[in-house]
Amino acid sequence: MNTIPRTLRNIGVIAHVDAGKTTTTERILFYTGESHRIGDVNDGTTHMDFDPQERRRGITIQSAAVTVHWKGAQINLIDTPGHIDFNIEVKRSLRVLDGAVVVFDGVAGVEPQTETNWRLADQYGVPRVAFINKLDRVGADFLRVVAMMKERLGVNALVLQLPIGAEGEFRGVVDLLGMRALIWDHDDASQPPREAPVPDELMALATQHRDRLVALVAEHDDVLLQAYLNGETMPIDRLRAGLREAVLAGRVVPVLAGSAWRNRGIEPLLDAVVDWLPGPEDVRRGEGHPASDADGPLAALAFKLVAGDHGERVFVRVYRGRLRRGDSVFNANTGRSERVARLYEVHADRHVERDELLAGDIAALVGLKDTLTGHTLCDREHPVHLESIDAPEPVIHVAIEPRANADQQGLSKALQSMLREDPSLRIGHDEDSGQTILSGMGELQLEVAVETLHTRHGVEVAVGAPQVAYRETITQAAQVSHVHKKQTGGPGQYAALTLQVLPLARGEGLRFESRVVGGAIPREYIPAVEVGVRRAAEAGGLAGYPCVDLQVLLLDGSFHERDSSALAFELAAAAAYREAVSRAGPQLLEPVMAVEVTTPVEYLGDVTGDLHRRRGQVHGQTMRGVVATVLARVPLKEMFGYIGSVRALSSGRAQYAMQFDHFGAAPASVVNTIVSAR
Ligand SMILES: Nc1nc2c(ncn2[C@@H]2O[C@H](COP(=O)(O)OP(=O)(O)OP(=O)(O)O)[C@@H](O)[C@H]2O)c(=O)[nH]1
Ligand SMILES: [Mg+2]
């Protein structure tokens, strides 16, 4: 079957909080004719941040996808949040995108969350272009940010533009490929840039950067290399093709300049997305990404669910085949088929119904009931499992209780719906207090969740103080044999087994394996043993937190024809596990955060001293003029309320960002506090 060739770009916008992702995306909507007025983050009038909480807080919380068109190409664009608590949004977007625009603040440069997202993009093999934004701001310095990119990200940053004028005078860019200037004489977004010769004062710098560009591209192209060495002019088409190749291969990242807020630099950014970033057919990722082919059997990945008035919308990326309205699709994760009632392309203010999606498309499906984030939708006759999207482990939790007793059911229902949307939220239950435990990535995420409960679901809850989500683990191996025997009861009360526990590396979780041979324990009881072990591990031994990073081996056992049962084996396993762990050097693990504080030098001593008092380990410090940046690892427990102290310490002038780093052994003092509080 023939399909009309199309130019398609699936692109994410990623960066640190406040770099200007949403502002840039709003301009893109305007310049592509998708919206007729420019939404502004500051007045809460954006198309992209449409949630009332996003508008009020002035931050993006949920990633949002839109389809726009630019010079004949279709661009599916996902604006992501910069705050680390919502990082699952970046992860799942990068999982399904082919390229990304990374936005940098022209003053702050490479910020921590930009670095984290950059590494994520590396991990997912997503080619990027860099957009150095906010060049209108006082203190903005394009080339310093480029240098920081090289330093902190180790990237081969390829300057494609140079800014013309700085700070308030920033008015245009030199386009190094075309060796021309583009000037925006007014802030007015409806005026296209004016072309002009490269300003004299920038000629030397522009030539120098263009030479570097040409040399870099020529390195991989013999024809260009010859021309370069002979000092001949480069065939521009060949140069462009070579540059695209270098970007797709991840060898270089083109760097552009602009000020989204002042409507400067957006048109060339859109050109760059089309010119340099890959389409579905160019993607060179391996496993989990079948080749883009509209004629093969269907393979699509659900990457996001959004509840709405008209039911849930499931956002999918189609990798292979086609999907029509009314089709029945096979969910490889649930093993069941579901019917797709409708297909939608998402635009700024509206949804456009589509009859059919093709390989490469990103769109929303309505009608699916059982599909979750990370599930693969495919053809029943050709089942495939695309690489899923795993949610990070929560590090913090709060206890919540409905304010009205009758609301318990409403609360459960609302939470279930919220969990479907955000897989990085978890719910649990505190047996002792009867309270619901809501866990997640940070204080902001939980605060937003509680507000959503209220505003969207009408459930008012009382919220406890945030608590650290500890873990437990073991430090050495131990082996225990246990016999479960009840004389009083009837049949089914006998089980004997031998368990061994062994420490595993951080992040391995709990692995269970049976090494029983010769039917010492009948095969039908083995799953019960695993259930017993996992239940006991979940309940924890030392301080009541889940035990992780250990291997549990079932080595041997015995049974009675008449007196054994699955329940007996489950109970025996739990008892054996508890004893084995108590002999295996149990240890409490606490989440340790990577903290980066930026402060005027005069407060440096106070900031560092305060971090030390919080059991922090300072492992790096850089100075840039009168501003110092301190890098530290600090237990999360000690970081509650940090925002208040760091402001007080620095008269409100220091800023910080933190994110989960690792689980580390908690000192005895922490263990004792928890145990005595229980
Ligand atoms: N001066 C100036 N301010 C800008 C520019 N771009 C964005 N801003 C401002 O920076 C602030 C943050 O912009 P956003 O677009 O919300 O940033 P974001 O990257 O989407 O932030 P999150 O979604 O919360 O991660 C807003 O006050 C914008 O008006 C720019 O080019 N120049
Ligand atoms: Mg935003």
Residue 219: beta bridge partners?
none
Count of residues in the chain: 678
pLDDT of residue 285: 59
What's the 101 CA to ligand 2 centre distance in angstroms? Answer: 13
> What letter would DSSP give residue 640?
T
Please report the atom of ligand 1 found closest to the CA of residue 133: 31
User: What is the secondary structure of 85-116 as a DSSP string?
Assistant: GGHHHHHHHHHH-SEEEEEEETTTBS-HHHHH
Give the model's pLDDT for residue 562.
85
User: Quick one: which H or E segment has residue 339?
Assistant: strand 336-339
Q: Which of 27, 40, 41 to mutate to test the pocket of ligand 1 (most atoms within 8 A of CB)?
A: 41
| Atom 14 of ligand 1: nearest residue by CA position | 20
CA distances from 47 to 29, 34, 60, 94, 421 (A): 9, 10, 11, 21, 20
480 alpha carbon to ligand 2 midpoint, in Å? 54
pLDDT of residue 559: 92
Q: What pLDDT is stored for residue 42 in this prediction?
A: 86
> What tokens appear for 299 in the block?
């393979």
Query: To test the ligand 1 pocket, which listed residue (60, 90, 261) has its Cβ within 8 A of the most ligand atoms?
Result: 261
Neighbours of 67 (CB within 10 A): 20
Q: What is the distance between the alpha carbons of residues 479 and 657, in angstroms, rounded to a whole number?
A: 44
**What is the reported pLDDT for 432?**
77
For residue 255, the tally of other CB atoms under 10 A from its CB is: 26
Which amino acid belongs to residue 665?
A
Question: Which ligand has the shortest distance to the CA of 40?
Answer: 1
The model's pTM is: 0.88
Q: What is the pLDDT of residue 665?
A: 94
Chain-centroid distance, C-alpha 398: 22
Q: How far is the CA of 89 from the centre of ligand 1 (A)?
A: 18
Closest atom of ligand 1 to 15 CA is 19
Ligand 1 residue neighbourhood (C-beta within 6 Å)? 15, 17-23, 41-42, 59-60, 81-83, 133-134, 136-137, 259-261
Is residue 294 within 8 Å of residue 358, measured between CB atoms? yes
pLDDT of 489? 59
pLDDT for position 228: 83
Distance 18 CA to ligand 2 centre (A): 7
Give average pLDDT by consecutive 10-residue segment, the chain, 678 residues: 72 95 95 88 86 87 90 94 92 94 96 92 94 97 96 94 96 96 91 94 96 89 85 86 93 96 96 95 67 85 86 92 95 95 87 92 93 94 88 90 85 92 91 88 94 92 93 96 80 89 94 93 95 94 91 95 91 96 96 94 95 96 88 95 90 89 92 82
pLDDT number for residue 677: 76
Q: How far apart are CA 159 and CA 336, in angstroms?
A: 50
Report DSSP letters for 534-574, one per residue: HHHHHH-SSSS--B-SEEEEEEEEE--TTT--HHHHHHHHH
Whole-angstrom Cα distance, residue 495 to residue 594? 47
Amino acid at 276: W
Residue 4: predicted pLDDT: 57
- CA 243–ligand 2 middle distance (angstroms): 30
